[in-house]
Amino acid sequence: MTTDPRALPGADPHTGNREIDPVTGYDTTGHDWGGIKELNTPFPRIAFVALLLSFLIALTGWILLPAWPYGRDFTRGLLGLEQGEMAQRGARAMAEIRQGWLGRFEGTPDFEALAGDAGLMPQAMPAAGRLFGDNCALCHSREGGGGPGFPVLNDGHWLWGGAPEDIAETLRVGINADHPETRIAQMPAFDWMERAERIALADYVAGLPAGRADPSAPGAALFAENCAACHGESGEGGLDVGAPTLTDAAVIYGQDSATVLETITRGRAGVMPNWSDRLSAAEINLLGLYVARLSEGKGP
Ligand code: HEC
Ligand code: HEC
């Protein structure tokens, strides 16, 4: 079929010649508004093809994959894929892989044998590190370095024992926590004591770690009378009451005299939540081993 060139847009109705705009080199549509002419610039073919293709791809997607929500459900698509189910299947597979070795931490495990298992440790310790990062690092810091009010876990000093089973027990019941068997560590307030006496005591206690506490100072007698029952004759600490040693650098709150004065005046009872409702028994044992190994080779 041939078309009369005179009928084409922009063509001269008599000669059929198209008018070319001298500035842009485009032909014109023939529309003319008081001397302003419209250029003939149709939508580029390649863009049109791309648009068509993407529309087709979207349409195929709608037909094959889950796409349209309606009420409480959604269209499944011809492939019948369900991403929620796929994710759950993936999680179950992961849990099964983990359960394979995590199961060995169930009950009362033989920590020494587990720690000596060269096949197990490269799987278990990174997983334990992630558990620690998610649950413990907030208070005890990433590497167990502690902070004011939160004990250091990687220096080999322990209030409640540093064997994996002791640590697991601390985690299971917590410290000053709401578990019925919680470990209890309460430093009573000595606010009833004369301020001058409290200051003398604080100076004495602040001097203990450096070995410069004077046994004939007034603070020494006050210490023997008021503090030794829990912290030991020379401040070595009393394990059964969670009273920390006062003779070395392992401090929870700080052992400068101002902080000690504050401790004596107000008392302390740091709370460590119990983990038995948040972590499984196997995870708690795993963390016990992990935390015990943080300080391996270090210690008093
Ligand atoms: C909300 C803050 C907090 C979190 C989270 C926390 N802890 Fe503690 N933790 C403490 C405090 C505070 C103490 C010291 C309690 C005290 O003053 O006697 C403590 C004490 C401990 C002790 C006893 C140290 C010793 O000398 O015997 C261990 C072990 C311990 N935490 C491990 C962990 C582990 C492992 C986790 C993660 C599962 C964890 N903690 C999470 C606050 C926390
Ligand atoms: C009933 C037992 C008890 C008595 C008595 C006691 N303390 Fe304590 N003290 C504790 C406990 C438990 C803690 C740990 C509190 C905590 O973990 O939150 C503690 C903590 C401290 C700390 C903080 C140590 C640190 O690492 O930051 C200092 C300092 C201290 N006591 C000094 C004294 C002095 C001085 C006296 C005597 C006036 C005294 N205590 C009497 C149980 C006692």
User: If we measure between CA atoms, which residue out of 187, 190, 191 comes closest to residue 269?
Assistant: 187
Dmax (CA) for the chain in angstroms is 126
Ligand 1 atom index nearest CA of 270: 17
According to the model, what pLDDT value does residue 10 have?
57
Weakest mean pLDDT among 91-95, 125-129, 139-143, 252-256? 91-95
- pLDDT digit string (tens) for 6-61? 666 656 666 666 778 888 888 888 788 888 888 888 888 999 999 999 999 999 99
Nearest CA among 191, 250, 252 for reference residue 226:
191
- Which ligand sits nearest to residue 244's alpha carbon? 2
Q: Is 206 in the pocket of ligand 2 (CB under 6 A)?
A: no
Q: Which residue has the tokens 């391996």?
A: 296
Contact indicator for 104, 283 with CB cutoff of 8 Å: no
Asked if residues 256 and 105 have their Cβ atoms less than 8 Å apart, the reply is no
User: 185: CA distance to ligand 2 center in Å?
Assistant: 9
The residue ranking higher by pLDDT, 97 or 167, is 167
Residue 231 near ligand 2, beta carbon < 6 Å: yes
Query: Considering the chain, what percentage of its residues have pLDDT values greater than 90?
Result: 39
The minimum-distance atom of ligand 2 relative to the CA of 201 is 35
Among protein residues, the one with the nearest Cα to ligand 1's atom 13 is 272
Q: Rounded to an integer, what is the distance from CA 145 to the centroid of its chain?
A: 16
CA distance 285 to 114: 11
Choose among 139, 100, 133: nearest CA to 287: 133
The single residue listed with the structure tokens 């401790």 is 263
- Residue 249, ligand 2, Cβ within 6 A: no
- Chain segment 230-287, per-residue pLDDT in tens: 998 888 887 667 888 898 877 889 889 999 999 999 999 999 999 998 999 999 999 9
* pLDDT tens digits, 177-209: 999 999 988 999 999 999 999 999 999 999 998
